[in-house]
Amino acid sequence: MTDVTEDYLADESLHGVMRGLALPPALRAQYGHRLVDRPFFLDRVTADAVAADVRAFFELLYSLPGRMFGGSVPRFARALGIPPEEAELMGDDRPPVYGRADLYRVGDGFRLLEINAGAQLGGHDLGEIARVLNDDPTLAPFVRRHGLRHVNPVEKLIEAVGSDGTIAFLEEGGMLEKFGRGFASLRESFARLGVEVLLGELEDVTERNGYLHLRGTRLDKVIRYFSARQAVDYDVLRKATGTFLFTPFSSYLYGNKSTLALLSEHRETLTAGEGELVDRLLPWTRYLDRVPRDHVRENRADLILKAAGEFAGTGVHAGWLHDDREWARLLDEVAGQPYVVQERVRPVLDVVPGDDRPWLTCWGWFVSETGFAGMSIRAMPQEDGAVVSYAGNPLTHVSGLLVH
């Protein structure tokens, strides 16, 4: 716990600040009912140091095709369990460093749960909660005293994409409606920064003269929220070479959880410095089908299963929340599927004023080519499960991060 956190928790006059925040309308509609009743704080040195580790970890991931597969991206994709038609769409271009690493605080450091590559990530607009906290009149003396400020992931995303030209968020298969409040909040955040964004789905898009067009409007840039799996049937994407796609489909190769198993298993391919980085960040992780079944059964309380290519908590099963019979049945059900098994991370638990329960916090480090790009803070009472995911667990709450 930082001195800033201790000072905040000790000052009862500040404990209602989250309930009184003047959130913008769409942001309030999305998150207002699920706010943690406190902000979070982190020193900027740690924020930058962990971001540097995450960026270096991305570079390690990008080296995997050359390091382990003779430079063959198709062989790499097969090892990850990615279908050939999706792998063909991904190509072999190195994507930019852009994504979010989800970590738990352990002692004085942080341990990696998973790494998410690409722009199709939730939580960018949580930086707006931090901005409003930073400007809140009740918190203002505390902010000044500790020299607090915020880093907005939306600003960093705009920097990465560029604000010129016509920009659209594109989804597929009715997802714009399903996640309508989230897209409204994100679009509101862009508009506050002077960038107007169109919304559409792949079904609404045509190609003309090498560019995607959304209901007749030419798109210069697309921030992609659809996956390679969703895109394989849309030939317009292959033809529209003039529209900049952020991030490219190749990002999916490096957000797959099997990449973590590759790094964890093949330490012989790493230099001493790379091995130290992996040891610092990554818990023991293996392809499930390469670990003896008896080991996975006997160590249930210390292991978690994760579907390699899923997100938002889908396909995540914590061994400590199952009994022996349930665990054995689950292992039978997922046998032969692309799953990894990972060592359980036991994080430092957090205090929320007015709540006697210990809270479990997932620190979502956004990183870009320029380094630390803000934070997605998600938390919930420890008793409410093992998956801290806003989209995947309705008991998950969110907050804002201020740095000092």
CA angle 117, 39, 312 (to 5 degrees): 30
What band does 1 get if pLDDT is binned at 50, 70 and 90? Answer: low
| Cβ–Cβ < 8 Å for 231, 249 | yes
Instruction: Read off the tokens for 40.
Output: 């979070």
Question: How far out from the chain centre does Cα 329 lie?
Answer: 30
| pLDDT tens-digit map of 104-159 | 999 999 999 999 999 989 899 999 999 999 999 999 999 999 999 999 999 999 99
CB 316 within 8 A of CB 306: yes
Closest CA to 114 of 54, 65, 56: 54
Global confidence as pTM: 0.96
What's the Rg (C-alpha) of the chain? 21
SS3 track for the chain: CCHHHHHHHHCHHHCCHHHHCCCCHHHHHHHHHHECCCCEEECHHHHHHHHHHHHHHHHHHHCHHHHHCCCCHHHHHHHHCCCHHHHHHHCCCCCCCCEEEEEEEECCEEEEEEEEECCCCCCCCHHHHHHHHHHCCCCHHHHHHHCCECCCHHHHHHHHHCCCCCEEEEECCCHHHHCHHHHHHHHHHHHHCCCCEEEEEHHHEEEECCEEEECCEECCEEEECCCHHHHCCCCHHHHCCCCEEECCCCHHHHHCCHHHHHHHHCHHHCCHHHHHHHHHHCCCEEEHHHCCHHHHHHCHHHEEEEECCCCCCCCEEEHHHCCHHHHHHHHHHHCCCCEEEEECCCCCCEEECCEEEEEEEEEEEEEECCEEEEEEEEEEEHHHCCCCCCCCCCCCEEECEEEC
pLDDT digits (tens, 9 = 90+) for 168-225: 999 999 999 999 999 999 999 999 999 999 999 999 999 999 999 999 999 999 999 9
The whole-angstrom separation of Cα 43 and Cα 254 is 28
User: What rounded mean pLDDT belongs to the chain?
Assistant: 95
The per-residue pLDDT for range 337-371, each reduced to its tens digit, is: 999 999 999 999 999 999 999 999 999 999 999 99
Q: Which tokens is 358 given? A: 């210990």
How much is the pLDDT for 92? 85
> Taking a C-beta distance cutoff of 8 angstroms, is the pair 316, 387 a contact?
yes
Of 282, 228, 261, the closest CA to residue 95 belongs to 228
The tokens 């599927």 sit on which residue? 337
**Does pLDDT of 392 surpass 90?**
no
